[in-house]
Structure 1
Amino acid sequence: MFDFVTKEVEVETTFIKALPGFSIVGLASSAVQESKERIKAALLNNDFEFPPLKIIVNLSPANLPKNSTVLDLPIALGILLQNRDIDLSEYLILGELGLDGSIKETPDIFSIVLGSRYKKIITAKSIAKKLALIPEIEVYGFENISEFFDLKLKPVKPTKLKYKHIEVNNKKYYYLDKFEVDFKDVKGQNTAKRVALISAAGMHNILLEGSPGVGKSMIINRIRYILPPMSLEEILETQKINALEGREIDFKPLRAFRMPHHSSSKAAIFGGGNRGTKIGEISLANNGILFFDELPYFNKDVLENLRLPLQEGKILISRVNNKIEYNVNILFASAMNPCPCGNLLSKKECRCTELEIKRYKNRISEPLIDRIDLYFQMSEDSDTSTISSKEMYQKVLIAFEKQIKRGYFNAKLPEGYEFQIEKDAREILDKAIINFNLSKRSEFKILKVAQTIADLENYDKINKKAILEALNYRKRT
C-alpha cells in the first residue's frame, strides 16, 4: 500500500558468485531490510541450506518506497524456489514470516488484495477464508514456509455471508436485524425521527438544531442502524478501511460512522500529512455517516472545504510529488445549538446577545447549508410516544428497493434527472420557487427529498403531500 493506493511490487532474486551475503535493493524501509534476518531464520529452521553465493533481491519499481512486511513471503519464495521450475508470476504473494517459518497476516493484506489486479492469491491461512469472500479470486492459504518444499496449490472454499439479505435485480444486499441502539429509546420528537427516517432512507445530508438535551445526538447516533442494506462491494470497501485501522474484519453489513471532534485539523478531516498522504475522517466514513456535532465550532476552513466532497462525492489531495483522489460517498449529519449558550429555544434564559448569535450562525455559510438536504429545529417535547428502529427499517427497505431499481440513492441522483411528479405538486413547487427565491440547487434538493418521501409511502409519483413535507424541511434564510 502506498498512500492508500495499491501499487504492484515485483520481487526479483538472483544468486551470484561472490562472498556469501544477502542484499535487498529497491528503496526498502527498515522493516523490509529486517526481513533478511526473519527469512534466514525461517528457512534455516526448516532445514533449508543456503548456497555459498551472494543473494541479491530487487524490489521493482526501484523508485517506489517499500515499507510493508508482506514482502517477507515473496522474497523467501524467490530464494527457496530459485532452482525449481515453478512459475508463480500469476499469483499475488503476501505474508509476514515468523522465525519458525510460520506465515502471518498483516493489517494491510486485505486492502492490498482488494486494490490489486490479481485473481490468484497466496497468503497466510489465517486470513485466507476472509479473502475468499472477495468475488472472482482464488485464495491459497499456507501456515508455514515448509509447505512450499512440496508445493501443492489448493484454493480455499469461500463461506457465504450469514446475514439477512434482500435480492433486487438479481443482486444481494445484506443488512442487520439487530439494533445496538434503538429509536424506541427516544421519547417524543416524532417529527425529528421522521426527518431521520427520510435522511436514512435516501442517504440525505441532515442538520438538527436545538437546545442541549433535546436529543439531537441521540437521534443521529441511531440513524446508522437504519441505513439501507449494503452490497458485497460496499461491505468489502468498509472492511478494507477496518483492516487499515487494525480493527477486526467481520464482514458485518454495518455502515461506517465517524464522529471527529470539532478541534480536528483540516488534514485530520480530509487527509494529507507531511510524511505520505493519509486518508482523513471523510474517507473513513465512505458509504456511511460523517457526523459533525457542534457544527459551528469546527474550523471555518474545514467547513468550507466540505463543499466539493458533498457536491461531487470525491476529494483530491494535492502535494508537490503526489496527487491522490478518494471517493467520499457519505451521509453528512450535523447538529448545532441555536446560540452559543444553547438556551435560545428552551425554557431557560438565553445569555447571548444578538451580535453573538449572529456571529455564531454566520460561521456556517449559505453554500454549505445549500448542500444539506434536511434541516429541522428541535424543541423540548413532553410527548412520550415511541417508534422502534425495526418499524422504521421496514420502511427504509421499501424505499431502498425503489431506489436500487432507479440506479441511485435519491440523495445522489444526477443533475438533470427527470422526476415523475403530479401536476398539482409541480404547481406548488413552482410557487415556492418564486415566493422563496429558491435556486436551481435548492429546487433539485427539494425534489430529491420529496422523492424519498414518496418512496417511503410507496407512491408511484411525487404528490402534493410529499412536496409540502419536503418544503417544510428546508432551512429558511
Structure 2
Amino acid sequence: MEEAVELSRVKHAKCATLYGNKAHEVAVESTLVRSLPGFSIVGMADQSIQESRERIKSALSSIHFEFPSQKITINLSPSDLKKEGSHFDLIIALLVAIQKERFTCNDFFIFGELGLDGKVKKTNAIFPIILSLASHISNLRVVVPLSLLPKIEQIPHIQAFGVETLHEALLFFKEKRFEKLTTKSISPLCESYLEIKGKSYFYPKEFPLDFSDVLGQHRAKRALNIAAAGMHNLLMEGSPGCGKSMSIKRLRYILPPQSIEEILESNAYYSLNEEECALSPLRPFRSPHHTASRPSIFGGGSTHAQAGEIALAHNGLLFFDEFPNFSKAVLESLREPLEDHRVLISRVNTKISYATKFLFAAAQNPCPCGNLLSQTHECRCSEVEINRYKNRISEPILDRIDFYIQMSETNSNEQGLSSYEMFENVLSAFVMQKNRGQKELNGKLNEHDTLQFCTLEPSAKERLEMAQNRFGLSQRSVHKVLRMARTIADMAQSHTICEKHLLEALSFRKR
C-alpha cells in the first residue's frame, strides 16, 4: 500500500530537445523522496539544465511556494539522449509546484525559460523544436511564452497557449483554462496572398530596391525575370560597375510567393542559428564574402553541426559576388547542394542533413583586372592569367548553372521594366506552375517531373535534338534547358513549350 502511494506521487509531463535539427520528445518525471532536503536533475542534462535549479528555486519563491523537507528528483527520459536548453525551466518548476496537487499537465508539451521573478521567457530553440514536433505529431498542444505565441500560432494543426508568468501557468492547469478557450481564427501572415487549389501563398508588395534604378541592360533584366519566375541558378559576367551586384540585390524582391510551410521552415533555420527573424513572406537573402571559410558556408562545428550560409538561404537567394575568388574547396563543395538540394554535415557526434533549395546567383569579372569587355578601359591581363582566372570554376559547377548573363557597359538612360512589372510576370508564371500540379518550381524539378511537365511541340523537339548534337549537351544540360524553356513558356501563358521558347532558353546557356 505504501509503495502504491509513493508511485502515485510521480508526476509526468512532456517537453522536447533538439538533436541536430530534429526534435526528440522528452518525458519529464518528478517525485519526492524521503531523504535530506535536496534538488537533483538526472538524465544526461547539460549545464544549462543543471543551472536551472537556482532559477527555479527563485521563481517558485515568487509564488510563495514552500519547498518540502524531502528530496526533489527530476528525471529526463530517455536517459541515453543528451538534453540541452533553458526551455526546460518552466516544465520542471510546474512539476515541483504541483507535486502534492491532484491535477496533471501531461497532455501538453511545455516550454519556457524562467526569470528569477517568475516571468516566462522565450529561447531560440523553442520555435524549431515545436515546428519539428508538429511535422510528426497530430493535434499537438503546447504551452509557450506569451511573446512567442503569435509565431507559434502560424504553424498548421497545432493548439498553442501562451503564459507570461509561472503563476499564470500554474493557474492555467489548476483551473483547466484550456477547456474554456475557444479556437480563434488566425489572421493571414500578410495582406497580399494567392489562393491556389485551396492553399495560400504569401508575397510582399514593397520594393525598397527597384529594378527601375538599373538603366538599360534589357537582356539582363529579361534573364533575371525568367530566373526569378522559376528559381533558376544564374551567373552574371561583366566589367566592374556595369550593374551585376545591383541587379542581383533587387532580385530578392521579385521572387515567387511562399507557402506558410516554407516561411516557417526558413524561420526555423534562422532560430537554429540563434538569429532572431520575424515571420515574413520576403524570401531569405545571404551573401557571404569570398574570404568566408568552408564551414561557415556549408555548416559545421566540432560538437554541434550548425547551419551554414547555404542552409540559411533555403527557400531564398544565395549570392556569391567575385565568384572565382572563393576557395577551390568551397566552389567544388557546391556540387551537392546545387544538384540534390541538400547538404549532409557529418561529425563524430552528429550527422545532420539540411535542405538547400535556393536560387543560386553568382557574379564575376571577365578577367582579373575586370576590363576585358570594357569599351573604355584597356585590359592588362595576359591570356594565361585570363585562362587561370576562368578555370577556377570547373565545368561540373558551370553545368549546374542555368542562366549565363553577360553584361556590357551602357550609357542608356532608359529605365525599362520596374520591379512591380517584373513581379507581375513572376506571379503569372507561378500560377501556371501551381495549377499544373507542380510541388516544386520549374528550376527545382527532378528528372521525372521535368519530363512530365516540360512538354515540347514537335518542332521544338527537333531543335533540341539538333542543339544536343551540335553543342554536345549532357543529359543534365538538356534538362536544364527544358526547365528554362518551361518557365519562359509559363511567362507567355503557353501550356506547351514552343520553338521560340526553346531557342530563347538556349541563348542563355554558356557557350
TM-score under structure 2 normalisation? 0.90
Per-residue Cα deviation, 1:197-255 (whole angstroms, up to 9, x for no partner): 01100000000011110011111111110000010111111222333445544321011
Task: Output the aligned Cα RMSD.
Answer: 1.5
Partner of 1:453: 488
CA distance in 2, matches of 1:223, 1:144: 44
Shift of 1:401: 0.8
Q: How does 1:88-127 map to 2 (within 5 A)?
A: 88-117=105-134, 118=137, 119-127=140-148
Is residue 22 of structure 1 aligned with residue 39 of structure 2?
A: yes
Is residue 441 of structure 1 aligned with residue 476 of structure 2?
A: yes
Is residue 32 of structure 1 aligned with residue 49 of structure 2?
A: yes
Shift of 1:472: 0.6
Q: How does 1:19-418 map to 2 (within 5 A)?
A: 19-117=36-134, 118=137, 119-147=140-168, 148-149=170-171, 150-154=174-178, 155=181, 157=184, 158-346=186-374, 347-386=376-415, 387-406=417-436, 407=438, 408-416=440-448, 417-418=451-452
CA distance in 2, matches of 1:206, 1:449: 11
Q: Aligned to 1:9, which of 26, 29, 36?
A: 26
CA distance in 2, matches of 1:265, 1:460: 44
CA distance in 2, matches of 1:86, 1:35: 24
Shift of 1:139: 0.8
Instruction: Answer yes or no: is the 8 Å Cα contact 1:195–1:374 preserved in 2.
Output: yes
Instruction: Answer yes or no: is the 8 Å Cα contact 1:70–1:109 preserved in 2.
Output: yes
Q: What amino acid does structure 1 have at the position aligned with 2:160?
A: V
CA distance in 1, matches of 2:193, 2:494: 24
Instruction: Answer yes or no: is the 8 Å Cα contact 1:103–1:124 preserved in 2.
Output: yes
Shift of 1:373: 0.6
CA distance in 1, matches of 2:297, 2:35: 52
Shift of 1:163: 2.5
Q: What amino acid does structure 1 have at the position aligned with 2:241?
A: G
Q: What amino acid does structure 2 have at the position aligned with 1:470?
A: A
TM-score under structure 1 normalisation? 0.97
Return 315-324 or 239-248, whichever deviates more. Answer: 239-248
Instruction: Answer yes or no: is the 8 Å Cα contact 2:273–2:306 preserved in 1.
Output: no
CA distance in 1, matches of 2:491, 2:67: 69
Shift of 1:152: 3.2
Shift of 1:405: 2.3
Q: What amino acid does structure 2 have at the position aligned with 1:415?
A: E
CA distance in 1, matches of 2:349, 2:485: 45
CA distance in 1, matches of 2:112, 2:40: 20
Instruction: Answer yes or no: is the 8 Å Cα contact 1:454–1:463 preserved in 2.
Output: yes
Instruction: Answer yes or no: is the 8 Å Cα contact 1:140–1:153 preserved in 2.
Output: no
CA distance in 2, matches of 1:125, 1:290: 34
Instruction: Answer yes or no: is the 8 Å Cα contact 1:129–1:159 preserved in 2.
Output: no
Partner of 2:498: 463
Shift of 1:61: 2.4
SS at 2:263's partner residue?
A: helix
Q: What amino acid does structure 2 have at the position aligned with 1:152?
A: K
Partner of 2:13: none
SS at 1:23's partner residue?
A: strand
Per-residue Cα deviation, 1:8-57 (whole angstroms, up to 9, x for no partner): 22221111011101111222222211111111111112111111001111
Q: What amino acid does structure 2 have at the position aligned with 1:153?
A: R
Shift of 1:162: 3.0
Return 118-127 or 91-100, whichever deviates more. Answer: 118-127
CA distance in 2, matches of 1:304, 1:397: 34
Q: What amino acid does structure 2 have at the position aligned with 1:101?
A: G
Partner of 2:460: 425
Instruction: Answer yes or no: is the 8 Å Cα contact 1:259–1:292 preserved in 2.
Output: yes
Q: What amino acid does structure 2 have at the position aligned with 1:8?
A: E
Q: What amino acid does structure 1 have at the position aligned with 2:23?
A: T
Partner of 2:7: none
CA distance in 1, matches of 2:62, 2:197: 54
Instruction: Answer yes or no: is the 8 Å Cα contact 1:123–1:140 preserved in 2.
Output: yes
CA distance in 1, matches of 2:504, 2:160: 51
CA distance in 2, matches of 1:160, 1:443: 40
Return 250-259 or 239-248, whichever deviates more. Answer: 239-248
Partner of 2:15: none
Q: What amino acid does structure 2 have at the position aligned with 1:330?
A: F
CA distance in 2, matches of 1:269, 1:249: 19
Structure 2, unpaired ranges of 5+? 1-17
Matched-pair identity in %:
50
CA distance in 1, matches of 2:270, 2:392: 33
SS at 2:72's partner residue?
A: strand
CA distance in 1, matches of 2:270, 2:476: 35
Shift of 1:89: 2.3
Shift of 1:413: 1.9
